[in-house]
Each structure stands twice: as structure tokens, then as C-alpha cells.
Structure 1
Amino acid sequence: MAERIWGLAAVPAAERTDLLAAPVAAGLEDWKAVAAERPPLVAEVDPELSDTAAASEAYGFPMEAGANCIVVTGKRGGEVRTAACVVLATTRLDVNGAVRRRLDVRKASFARQDDAVAATGMEYGGITPVGLPEGWPLLVDAAVAACPLVVVGSGVRRSKLIVPGAALAGLPGAETVDGLGLPLES
């Protein structure tokens, strides 16, 4: 039976792995350690309305509860360094400040779409912190970690995960970073 959260009909993600990218379904094992009391939920959405702002409007969740997972890369001494970063939809990622310093690179930038999709095994626009490649740092903005529930990608555009922000911060490789998300400029 679906649980209504905002305008989303959510069910335990473990019951609907058909709504998840394969790496995300496999990554559900990580939840047993970080959020056993609140398993991740998944809700089917219209893929045309999957972008955070459109989903917020269509399904009634506040933008303050929307989270985006962004893949960032940089180079140091010829070595490519990659991280996934999670910030609230009401902020912008501090790529050349907090992320660049954490990756210890001269310049950080958003990963190319094709590279992010190939590396994660997830659809662009649905990339999520659950089921990321082993060894990637996962940087979670402190504001995300403080949210009781966030709506984030599920690895595919046709659904969304609904999870406690603190559980994202407890995933393997995760690090909570103050100021990772900066206020949007008006």
C-alpha cells in the first residue's frame, strides 16, 4: 500500500526495484546500516516532469525538500578525481570553492553528461547518491543532512526516492560539508 508524502504515492523501494536503476537497487543494501528505521521510499513520476522544479510543482513537495546529486570532476597530476555532491534544489553547488578544495584540484567542473551516465549506470537527470561507484567521495551539504525527508533521483527519470537527509549523509563514502550549497543568486 502506498504512503502519501506530499503528492507522491510512495512505497518501500525494496518492493519496487523495477523503478530503480540497477546500481541503485544494489545500493539499497547500504540502507540497512544507515537507515533501518526508515527504509527508502520510491514514487513513480512522469519522466517529463522529473527535473526537480517541475516535479516539485507537479507533486507538491517544497523545493526545500528537493535534492540534486551532481557529479563533478577535476584533475591533479594527470589523475582524474570524481565526486558526487548532493545539495538542496534551493541552492547552487560551490564547484570551484568547496568541491575544488575537497578534491584537491586546481579546477573542478561538472562531469560531462555521457561520462556521468557511463560511470554511474544511471540516467542523466536521475543520478542519485545511492549505488554510486565504489571509492567516489559523496559530499552532502549540511542542509541536506538536516532535512527530515528529501526527494532525490532514483537512477532513472521515471521515479524519485524519498529518504531522510541524515541517511544520505550516512552512506558509504559520505562526508557532510557545510557550505557545499550556496544561496541562488536573485
Structure 2
Amino acid sequence: MTDQPQLPFGTFDAFGPALDVVDQLAGPVADALKSWDDREAARSVLYVDTDPEKADTAVFCETYGVPPEASANCVVVAAKRGGGTTLAACLALATTRVDVNRAVRRHLEARKASFAPMDTAVAASGMEYGGITPVGLPADWPLLVDEAVAATPYVLVGSGRRRGKLILPGRVLAGLPGAVVLPDLAG
């Protein structure tokens, strides 16, 4: 990785612009970055190389010196209404939990909402479990972003794979396709 930018937090041996290492990203993530209309936003995304055995949030933050309040988790939710199921992604800081039963269900106008089964989330997103990220999600998925994520100067999220993470401004996440910022998504 060339032309090293400044990291906003953490200690990583290898990092740089995600656009320089699209081969390290899951296919949908690489495709999204390469085709992003907002080229400035695409260039603001950093990739940090990490050990996939240390991908879980608490271990990751401790290993790499990332403040948990700068790390966000992307979870896939299945919302049922009538006879159909809608998949949606929810993004909340690692220090909080997504309110699936009230906030998500209410926003998606669903009768019932729950975390999607792992195999469903992986198959539908095209990303690895433990690395699902809001960048490159299917176009028809709603992306619910907690307002605290949108207000965070820089946020660490998955890269679509268990190896590596992305760091980007919270405002960029709030501007992703299908994103809706909610004040009560997580608590």
C-alpha cells in the first residue's frame, strides 16, 4: 500500500486506501467502492490488514488499540410482514445493541423482526460471517444507521471478509445507498 494516509486511531502493521487493495475485499465491497458515484467518499475509505482470528469486536479492539466507541457492528435482520420477509442491515456502535424488537420492527413496519440466520446473511450479502459491512450491501436492502455512528468522525467496520477492516467517516456511512439514520436504533 503506497502513499500512507494518517490513521485516525489504532495500531496496524499494514493500512492504506481501500481502493488500492480491492483484491483484499469481498467482491460486493470492492465493486461498491470502484463504482461509487462519490469518488471523494470512496477515496476516504481506509483498509487495515488484520488477523481473522481476532475479528470479534472485543478482541479486535484490545489487540489493535481501537476504542470500542469507534467500532461499529453491522447486523443483518429479517423482518416479516404479511407473507414476505425483508432483509435489512443495521449499523450501531460496538458499545450499543440494535433494538430489533422495537426500533427496527417499527421502522420496517414488520410484524416480527429478528437477527437473520448466519447462512442467510452470508449467502444474501456475498460476505463472510464476522465481516459483513454496510459497504456493498444488496441494493434492495434498507440500511438502518444509528445516529451515533453517523456522528462519529471515523468508524471501523468490516471489509466483507474476516481478514481486514475498513475505516471511514461516519457521515460517509450515513450517505450509503438505502441508508436511513435513526435516533433510536441502538441503546
Q: 2:33 aligns with which of 28, 37, 62?
A: 28
Structure 1 residues 38-64: Cα deviation after superposition (integer angstroms, max 9, x where no partner): 520101100000111111101101000
Distance in 2 separating the partners of 1:168 and 1:152: 10
What are the equivalent positions in structure 2 for 1:75-154 lying under 5 Å apart? 75-154=80-159
Distance in 2 separating the partners of 1:128 and 1:14: 16
Deviates more, 1:167-176 or 1:10-19: 10-19
Amino acid in the other structure paired with 1:70: V
Distance in 2 separating the partners of 1:152 and 1:92: 15
Distance in 1 separating the partners of 2:41 and 2:142: 22
2:11 maps to which residue?
Answer: 7
Post-superposition shift, 1:177? 0.5
Amino acid in the other structure paired with 2:11: G
Question: Is the contact between residue 41 and residue 172 of structure 2 (CA under 8 Å) also seen in structure 1?
Answer: no
Amino acid in the other structure paired with 1:87: A
Return 5+ residue gaps in structure 1 as ranges: none
Question: Is the contact between residue 35 and residue 167 of structure 1 (CA under 8 Å) also seen in structure 2?
Answer: no
Return 5+ residue gaps in structure 2 as ranges: none
TM-score by length of 1: 0.93
1:39 maps to which residue?
Answer: 44
Ranges of 4+ aligned residues in structure 1 off by more than 6 Å: none
Question: Is the contact between residue 143 and residue 180 of structure 2 (CA under 8 Å) also seen in structure 1?
Answer: yes
SS in 2 for 1:18: helix
SS in 2 for 1:119: helix
Of all paired residues, the percent bearing the same amino acid is: 58
Q: 1:175 aligns with which of 180, 183, 186?
A: 180
The structure richer in strand per residue is 1
What are the equivalent positions in structure 2 for 1:40-59 lying under 5 Å apart? 40-59=45-64
Question: Is the contact between residue 42 and residue 161 of structure 1 (CA under 8 Å) also seen in structure 2?
Answer: yes
Q: 1:147 to 1:176 in 2, by over 3 A?
A: same
TM-score by length of 2: 0.92
Question: Is the contact between residue 154 and residue 169 of structure 2 (CA under 8 Å) also seen in structure 1?
Answer: yes
Distance in 2 separating the partners of 1:136 and 1:55: 27
* Number of aligned positions between the proteins: 182
